[in-house]
Amino acid sequence: MIASRLLAFWRDERAAVTPMVAALAVTLVGATGLVLDAGLFYVGNQELKAATEAAALTAAIDTSSKETAEGRARQYLNDNGFRDVELLPVQTGRYCADSAKNADRFIDADAKCRDEDDSVVRQANAVRLTTRKKSKRFLTSMFSSLDPMLELTATATAARIDEAGIATTANFLGADSTKPVGALLDSVNSYLLNPLLGINLTNESAVRAMMTHNVDAALFFDHLAKHAANATFERRDSNPTYGALLERENITLGMLLLSASEATNDKDTADTLRSLSTAPKSGNVVNLKGLFGLGVWQNMPVGEGSAPQGLRAGLNAYQLLAYAAQASPATLDLSAPVNLVIPGSVVKIESIGTTSPSDASKPRFSFGPEGTEVSTSSIRLKLTVGLGSIPLVDNLLPSLPLMIDIGTGSAKIQRIQCGQNQMDDTTVDVLMKAGLLGIYLGDAPANAMDKPLPEILPERDIRPAKIVNGTKLLNITLTPAITARALVGPVTSSETPITFSSPRGEGKPRIGIPGSTIQANYDGAPAELTNSIRPGATVSNLLSDLKLYVCDADGNNCLLELGALTRPLAVALDPILRNVLDGLIGSVLDNLLAALGLQLGNSRVWVTGVRCGVPVLV
């Protein structure tokens, strides 16, 4: 009896569970289908994103046209099993890394990046791809109305940023690098670097070696970081970057020169730099911000200089010394009077003013993309020109004031064109401009040599200088005073585009790349630009512009007078001024400026390395 009742209960319970299982099975199958579809959607989305990014990187290798970029992207998708992916119209444009908003970083190919100069050649260097495909489905395939909701899309942007090293120097050794440097040695030792820095260069071959050899930039920074860390007993495992290195305030001239000696493969250059690193004033601090623009190396960790790199760039050893000296305000405050009297000349250099080399926007050496700029220093010389004696002229003053302005020469990377083989097919277009040149005879404003140098407008600021004293009796002018003024300039060259050929090319100018353990050395050839009016011609123009004024005895109330009183004086002054100025510019001044790494009216530009960028996602 009991057994039969239990059997009945069992039958009743099973009958009750069966409908429940049947009802729940539908929900279970539906949930499983939805989970499976969601997983397929997620996996498909990730696959499409990865494929789109890879296709964008492939397309960014050549963005010369939309068709080329699209062809490369489509070929990648087809070759890697993504034939069912639809490639929407491809966009090519420019990538602006400095834009604050992500939306502003990809712009049209002919658009302008923020703060970009108009001289930069605008060309596409980035590509943006958008792809789509239908997601694989299980359960939702039964609902056609869900098709748009389950369509996969992906967008990727990739850019290729090519970079080069660039530096500007002067042509001290002549076009064939055989010009003697003995006069330069005298200038360096007797007049400038020896008394101010304690540096002696007594070997002409050593000077020539520094002028013709580079130091490897990356290795130089590595050694400099090591010496700076040793000086402050810092740990070296803190992973500093080259950018952080330039922010340091304990870099001395001695550290800089010693680091340079350890980063060159020329023995004479290394020995000379090493000996200079122990000069009496080598402990003076050098501001590195105005010397280097890091560009591609801004965030590179210190210690990777010996690793294989896309860009190996060089720094001219002598220019490094000259610019480092200018960057040291404790040792070269050249706006203060130095009162250098040059033997054998009637010209006295009263003071030399320089612009501050700490302007990081226009460094002396730089490494970066199109738009990167370098420049030389500005120099202003205040001189007195001895007049001696002139027959038939009484009350002649002993000298005339003269001011020479030498503006910055500059160079800017305009375009980098990379071919299939970086060493054979790459060219770099550079926009060069030689520094302005102005020579002014007359009285300059009292603040003309202040630091930083104020702007001088010759017509407004240069006043006639008295050369003949007048005489007075009872406040009545008996003999007039005579003043003189002559203005030439500022004369400057127009911006000139120059193309540098590939490192292994035969053309000139040519890209240079320093040697390393993995790469042979390739000597570069510079481009040279001179002002449209050469210094000698400027002297002639100055004399042609000479104007004499007849004034009262105090030198006031002047009138331009070309009569019998002033014409003989002008004739007598011409040969005196011509001889003095020709000698000044031809020998003395050229060598004095050369000690500072400058050349009057001339600019020489080197492309010291090039890196054809590897496409990156942006």
* Averaged pLDDT for residues 120-124: 72
**How many Å apart are CA 238 and CA 234, to the nearest integer?**
9
pLDDT confidence tier of residue 33, bands split at 50, 70 and 90: low
Highest mean pLDDT, choosing among 135-144, 182-191, 219-228, 375-384:
219-228
| Predicted local confidence at residue 545, as pLDDT | 81
Q: Which residue has the higher pLDDT, 96 or 92?
A: 92
Q: Which residue has the higher pLDDT, 15 or 281?
A: 281
Q: Which residue has the higher pLDDT, 315 or 66?
A: 66
Q: Which residue has the higher pLDDT, 571 or 148?
A: 571
| Model confidence at 429: pLDDT above 70 | yes
pLDDT confidence tier of residue 383, bands split at 50, 70 and 90: confident
| Model confidence at 497: pLDDT above 50 | yes
pTM flag (> 0.85):
no
* Averaged pLDDT for residues 290-296: 73
| Model confidence at 342: pLDDT above 50 | no
Q: Which residue has the higher pLDDT, 133 or 535?
A: 133
* Averaged pLDDT for residues 303-307: 64
Backbone angles phi, psi at 227, to 5 degrees: -70, -35
pLDDT confidence tier of residue 171, bands split at 50, 70 and 90: low
Question: What one-character-per-residue DSSP string does 1-16 give?
Answer: -HHHHHHHHHHHHHHH
* Averaged pLDDT for residues 280-306: 73
* Averaged pLDDT for residues 341-348: 52
Q: Which residue has the higher pLDDT, 109 or 448?
A: 448
pLDDT confidence tier of residue 340, bands split at 50, 70 and 90: very low
Question: If you ran DSSP here, which 8-state letter would residue 486 be given?
Answer: E
Q: Which residue has the higher pLDDT, 416 or 103?
A: 416
Phi-psi region of 115 (alpha: psi -120 to 50; beta: other; left: phi over 0): left
* Averaged pLDDT for residues 477-488: 76
Q: Which residue has the higher pLDDT, 95 or 562?
A: 95
Comparing CA positions, the residue from 536, 537, 535, 524 lying closest to residue 498 is 524
**How many Å apart are CA 250 and CA 239, to the nearest integer?**
18
Q: Is residue 605 within 8 Å of 527, Cβ to Cβ?
A: yes
| Model confidence at 5: pLDDT above 60 | no
| Predicted local confidence at residue 338, as pLDDT | 38
Highest mean pLDDT, choosing among 85-99, 380-394, 511-525:
85-99
Q: What is the largest CA-CA distance in the chain?
A: 160
Q: Which residue has the higher pLDDT, 37 or 442?
A: 442
Helix residue spans in 213-316 (DSSP H): 217-231, 242-246, 253-261, 267-276
| Model confidence at 175: pLDDT above 50 | no
Task: Measure CA of the first residue to CA of the last residue in the chain; give whole Å.
Answer: 83
pLDDT confidence tier of residue 153, bands split at 50, 70 and 90: confident
Handedness of CA 257, 260, 262, 265 (dihedral sign): negative
Name the average pLDDT for the chain: 72
| Model confidence at 390: pLDDT above 60 | yes
* Averaged pLDDT for residues 121-128: 80
**How many Å apart are CA 172 and CA 178, to the nearest integer?**
9
| Predicted local confidence at residue 334, as pLDDT | 36
Sequence length of the chain is: 618
Q: Is residue 244 within 8 Å of 266, Cβ to Cβ?
A: no
Highest mean pLDDT, choosing among 84-88, 193-197, 310-314, 611-615:
84-88
pLDDT confidence tier of residue 501, bands split at 50, 70 and 90: confident
Which H or E run contains 223? helix 217-231
Backbone angles phi, psi at 296, to 5 degrees: -60, -25
| Model confidence at 134: pLDDT above 60 | yes
Give the model confidence (pLDDT) of 225-262 as tens digits. 888 877 554 444 456 778 888 788 788 888 888 988 88
| Predicted local confidence at residue 318, as pLDDT | 80
